Amino acid sequence: MAPLFSSSSITRVLAIPELLDLIFRYLDDKSNTSNALVCTQWSEVALNILWSNLSDLARLFRILRPLEKVAGDKDAVYAWSVAPDASDWKRLEKYTRRVRRLIFDADYGTPLEASVFEDASRTRTSLAILPNLVYLDWRAPLPLSVIFMSSHVKTFILWMPQDETSPTAEFRSFFRDVTTRMPNLTTLDIRTIIPMHDIEDDMVFLFESLTKLRKAVFPRYHVTTRIAETLARLEDFGCLEFQYHQDQGIGDPDDTSSVFRPKLQMGAFPSLWDVSMTVTLDDALAFMKQPFSPTNLTTLYVDSALIESPSIVQEFLESLSDSCQLLEGLGILAHIDNTDNRQLSDIPSDLRINFSNLQPLLVFPNLVTFELIHQFPLDLTIDNIQQLAQSWPSLRKLILNNEPAVSDHCDLTLGALLPFATHCRELEHLGLFINASSGDLPSAYAATTYQLKPFAKLRRLSTGTSLISEPGEVALFLSQICPLGIALDFGVTWDHAAPDDSESDTLERIDAIGIRCDKWAKAREHLPLLTKLRAEERSRTRLLTEEVTDLRMRSSVLLDTLQAGRGEDSCIPL
Confidence of residue 14 (pLDDT cuts 50, 70, 90): low
Nearest CA to 46 among 31, 36, 59?
36
In this prediction, residue 548 carries a pLDDT of 87
Distance CA 496, CA 517 (A): 13
Structural element, H or E, at residue 123: helix 114-123
Which of 124-133, 391-400, 494-503 is the least confident region?
494-503
In this prediction, residue 5 carries a pLDDT of 44
Residue 497 has pLDDT above 70, yes or no: no
In this prediction, residue 9 carries a pLDDT of 59
Higher pLDDT, 574 or 380: 380
The CB density around residue 376, as the number of other CB atoms within 10 Å, is 22
The alpha carbon of 23 is separated from its chain's Cα centroid by a whole number of angstroms, namely 29
Q: What is the pLDDT of residues 234-271, one digit of tens each?
A: 999 999 999 999 999 999 999 998 899 999 999 999 99
Nearest CA to 398 among 469, 478, 460?
460
% of the chain with per-residue pLDDT over 90: 60
In this prediction, residue 373 carries a pLDDT of 96
Average pLDDT, the chain: 87
Q: What fold, for 14-46?
A: Monooxygenase (1.20.1280)
Confidence of residue 447 (pLDDT cuts 50, 70, 90): very low
CA angle 128, 133, 137 (to 5 degrees): 110
In this prediction, residue 232 carries a pLDDT of 96
Structural element, H or E, at residue 136: strand 135-139
Distance CA 313, CA 141 (A): 44
Q: What is the pLDDT of residues 554-563, one digit of tens each?
A: 888 888 888 8
Residue 523 has pLDDT above 90, yes or no: yes
Confidence of residue 502 (pLDDT cuts 50, 70, 90): low
Residue 499 has pLDDT above 60, yes or no: no
Nearest CA to 64 among 114, 148, 102, 120?
120
Residue 185 has pLDDT above 50, yes or no: yes
Confidence of residue 568 (pLDDT cuts 50, 70, 90): low
Whole-model pTM: value is: 0.85
Crossing angle for the helix pair 86-96 and 57-64, nearest 10 degrees?
140
Residues paired with 191 in a beta bridge? 159
Q: What is the pLDDT of residues 95-140, one digit of tens each?
A: 899 999 999 998 888 889 899 999 999 999 888 899 999 999 999 9
In this prediction, residue 144 carries a pLDDT of 92
Which of 41-50, 148-157, 306-315 is the least confident region?
41-50
The alpha carbon of 393 is separated from its chain's Cα centroid by a whole number of angstroms, namely 24
Higher pLDDT, 39 or 119: 119
In this prediction, residue 445 carries a pLDDT of 47
Confidence of residue 298 (pLDDT cuts 50, 70, 90): very high
Q: Report whether 465 contacts 402 (CB < 8 A).
A: yes
CATH 1.20.1280 residue window(s) in the chain: 14-46
Question: Best-predicted range by mean pLDDT among 75-84, 91-100, 350-359, 473-482?
Answer: 350-359
In this prediction, residue 169 carries a pLDDT of 63
In this prediction, residue 440 carries a pLDDT of 57
Half-sphere exposure of 542 (CA within 13 A, CB side): 6
Residue 442 has pLDDT above 60, yes or no: no
In this prediction, residue 29 carries a pLDDT of 78
Arithmetic mean of pLDDT, 148-155: 95
Residue 428 has pLDDT above 90, yes or no: yes
Residue 453 has pLDDT above 50, yes or no: yes
In this prediction, residue 170 carries a pLDDT of 76
